[in-house]
Amino acid sequence: MDDMTEAMVRSAVFAAGLSPSEEEIASLVEGYADYRAGIDSLYAVAETRYASPALTFSATPVFADWSE
């Protein structure tokens, strides 16, 4: 693992308030390159240039109780 990747992973997980063990950090660092490469491939999809995300929002709040 390179130092920069390890520093970035440590920073990200601790910033999120998580407290992984050294072994768990090592595992996250080990998998990070593949994870980041996968995320970078998302930005390479040319058709997303003018696409809106598959997220929805309604101005009408939902108050319905699921148990009723």
Binding site for other proteins (CB under 8 A): 9, 12-13, 15-20, 24, 27-28, 31-32, 34-36, 38-39, 41-43, 45, 47-48, 51-56, 58, 62, 64-68
Rounded to the nearest 10 degrees, how much is the dihedral formed by the CA atoms of 35, 37, 42, 47? Answer: -160
Give CA–CA dist 9/44, Å, rounded. 23
Rank residues 4 and 54 by Cβ distance to other proteins and give the closer one.
54
* Beta carbons within 8 Å of 8's beta carbon, 6+ residues apart: 32
Rounded to the nearest whole angstrom, what is the least distance from the CB of residue 26 to other proteins in the complex? 11
Rounded to the nearest whole angstrom, what is the least distance from the CB of residue 44 to other proteins in the complex? 8
